Structure 1
Amino acid sequence: MNTFERSGKHLAIKSWQKLNSKVNAGFTTREGGNSTRAFHSMNMGFHVNDDSDKVRENRKLFSKEINFPVENWIGSQQVHAAKIVKVSKEERGLGSLDFETAIPDTDGLYTSDEDILLTSLYADCVPLYFFSPNDKLIGLAHAGWKGTVAKIGPAMINTWQEKESVDVKSILAAIGPSIGHCCYEVDDRVINEVKVALDGDIEKSVYKKNTTGNYHLNLKKLNEILLLRAGVLPENIIVSEQCTSCQNDVFFSHRKDRGKTGRMMSYIGRKGD
C-alpha cells in the first residue's frame, strides 16, 4: 500500500496524520530548494560537498513548509549500521544546521518527547518510520543494505519492547521511497549477507538472479519481511511504491547519479499542545 502522498513539494504519511493530527511524518523530494549543479535543488545533506549555506537555506525553507522549527530538528551522522539512540528535548538542534553537531555513529533515532523532529538522510537507501500511538513513541531508521542485513528495523522494535515496554502489536511502521528492485543490482557478497539475515531462507520475493550473474534485490521487501518476523502486524506496515532511481526528476539517486548527488530527508515529529 502506498500512502506516501504529495503534499506541496514533499511526500507525507497522511494516514498517520489522520490517526493523530499532531504527528507530522514524510519525505522530501529534490524540488523547491536553492542548491545548484548536481545538488539541484532541495539538497538536505551537509556531507555531500554542497554549499553549506545553501543546505541551511533549504532546511529553513522546508521547516516553514511543514511548520516545524529547524531549531527543533535532530539528525545523526549515519554509518550504515544498526545503532539505536533515544533522544529528548535536550538534544534539539543537534545536526539541524550543520553536520558536526549531529549525533555520531547512529542510524536509528527515537523519542517520546513532543516538539522534536527526527531526521535522516537518503539517496537510494530505505527510510523506516515507526509510530506507537498508545505509547506516544516515534522513530526513524536508515536502512541501506548493510543496515538492513544488520536488522536495524527489528533493532528498533526490540528496543521499544525491552526499554519502553511497548506491545509490538501496537507499533505502526512505514517503508519509504528508495531504490526499487527494478534498479538495484548487487553481487553475491551482498546476497550472501541477505541469506544470513533471513536465516538461510530463500525468499524469491526479495532477490532474483539476472542475465549478468548478479541479482536484483528488493530492499523494501527485505525490510518488510524482517519487520514482520519481529512481530509487527502486516496490516500495520505501509510500503511506498516510489523508486528513487526511476523517478530521478523527483528524487536524488546515488546510483543513477553515479555518486555525486544530494540527499532527501525523512522526518517524523509529534507536536505539543
Structure 2
Amino acid sequence: MKFKNNEQAVLNTDKIAPFITFPILSDIGFIKHGFSTRLGGVSTGIYESMNLGFSNGDDPDSVTVNYKRISDSIGFSTENIVTTDQVHNTEIRLITAKDKGKGVVKKRDYKGIDGLITNEPGITLATYYADCVPLYLVDMKNKAIGLSHSGWRGTVKRMGKVTLEVMQQNFNTKPEDVITLIGPSICMDCYEVSKDVAEAFVNEFNPEQMKDILLDKGNDKYQLNLWQANRHIFIDAGVKDTNIHISSVCTSCNSDLLFSHRATKGKRGTLAAFLMIKE
C-alpha cells in the first residue's frame, strides 16, 4: 500500500511486523532496506507495540522479541544488526563483520555515533528515530552504503555531507555516484521551532536556500523544513539533484503508524531504519 498521494514510500503489511520501503531503494538490486512502524510488536503502554529502543524504559525482553519480528519481516538476521549510540553529533563509524550484533545481541564498545557506513555484505546497519531525519546513502559504483541520523543539530552540522566525506575516505565514494533517500521524519507543517534554532539555520544556509527551509510566523516562532535543508546539503556536497529523494512521510502526521516525539510529548517508543548490502 502506498501512502496517500505519495509514490516515494510503500507500507508493507503482508508480514507480522509492517514496515516501510522506498521504491527508489527497492530498485537497487544489491541492497535490502526498511523502516519500522509502531505496529506488529509486543511492547505495551506508551511503547505499543514495535518499540526498538533498549534505553527508553521498555522491557528489554519485549524489545528483543520486537527485533526478531522486524528482522524476520524485512528479511535479515538479528545477529547481523549493528546499531548507533546517538547523541545528535556527526560522528560516523566504519562497520565491519566483527561489529555484527552490537547494540542488539551484544554490547556496543563505542559511544557517540550517529552514522554508520560499510561496504561489507551481510551487515545490517540500524539507526533510531521518532521525528529526526534518516539519511540513506548508496554508492552505486563502489557498492557501499551509509545510514545516518540527522536531527536539527545534525542537519545544521551537515550530517549528509559528513557521511559522504567519510564514505569517500574509506571507499573512494564520489557524490555523483550516490543515491540518497531522506526518510520518514517530521514535516515542516508539524515542526515549530524557536528563534535560536531558526538562527542556527540562517547562519548555516544561504538566503536562497532559506526560502525552502524556514517560515517566519512572527512572535519568534518558525516552521522548519528539515527535508529541504538536507536536500540542499546533499546538493552542496555534489550529489545530483535527480539522485536525492524525499520520502514525504511525516512521523507526526502519521503518529498512529509511527512514533513521534512531538505528537506524544516524549511518551513514545523508537523507530529504526535498516540498510544492508545483500550477501
Q: TM-score, normalised by structure 2?
A: 0.93
The within-5 A match list for 1:137-148 is 137-148=144-155
Q: Deviations over 1:32-56 (max 9, x none)?
A: 1101110111011111111111111
| Residue 15 (structure 1) shift | 2.7
Select the residue among 13, 17, 26 that pairs with 2:26.
17
Residue of structure 2 in register with 1:119 after alignment: 126
Equivalent pair of 1:12/1:27 in contact (CA under 8 Å): yes
Alpha-carbon separation, structure 2, partners of 1:6 and 1:46: 25
CA contact (8 A) 1:76 1:102 kept: no
Aligned to 2:3: none
Structure 1 residue matching 2:188: 3-state secondary structure: coil
Structure 2 residue 222 is matched with structure 1 residue 222: no
Unaligned 5+ segments in structure 1 are: none
Q: Which amino acid aligns with 1:29?
A: T
Alpha-carbon distance in structure 2 between the residues aligned to 1:91 and 1:51: 24
SS in 1 for 2:102: coil
What letter matches 1:254 in structure 2? H
1:201 to partner: Cα distance: 5.5
2:66 to 58, 72, 78: 58
- Output one character per residue of 1:232-255: Cα deviation in whole Å (capped at 9) or x when no partner: 001101101111111110110101
Q: CA deviation at 1:84?
A: 1.1
Structure 1 residue 104: Cα displacement: 1.3
Q: 1:74 to 1:49 in 2, by over 3 A?
A: same
CA distance in 1, matches of 2:89, 2:26: 29
Deviates more, 1:141-150 or 1:153-162: 153-162
- Map of 2:142 onto structure 1: 135
Mapping 1:223-238, distance limit 5 Å:
223-238=230-245
RMSD of aligned residue pairs (Cα, Å) = 1.5
Count of matched residue positions in the alignment of Structure 1 and Structure 2? 270
Report the equivalent of 1:42. 50
2:35 corresponds, among 27, 34, 48, to 27
Tell me if the contact between 1:130 and 1:173 (Cα under 8 Å) persists in the aligned partners.
Answer: yes
Amino acid in the other structure paired with 2:114 = D
Q: 1:118 to 1:168 in 2, by over 3 A?
A: same
Whether the aligned pair in 2 keeps the contact of 1:108 and 1:141 (CA below 8 Å) is yes
Name the amino acid aligned to 1:26: G
Does 1:7 pair with 2:12? yes
Counterpart secondary structure, 1:256: helix
- Per mean C-alpha deviation after superposition, the further-off stretch among 34-43 and 194-203 is 194-203
How far, CA to CA, are the matches of 2:164 and 2:188 in structure 1? 25
1:157-168 equivalences in 2 (<5 Å):
157-168=164-175
Partners in 2 of 1:182 and 1:44 — Cα distance? 27
Q: Secondary structure at the match of 1:204?
A: helix
Q: CA deviation at 1:191?
A: 1.1
User: How far does residue 263 in structure 1 lie from its aligned partner after superposition?
Assistant: 0.7
- Pairing 1:108–2:115 present: yes
| Pair 1:268 & 2:275 matched | yes
By how many angstroms is 1:139 displaced?
0.9
The CA distance in 1 between the partners of 2:234 and 2:172, in whole Å, is: 18
> Partners of 1:68 and 1:212 in 2: how far apart?
49
The ranges of structure 1 where at least 4 consecutive aligned residues each deviate by more than 6 angstroms after the TM superposition are: none
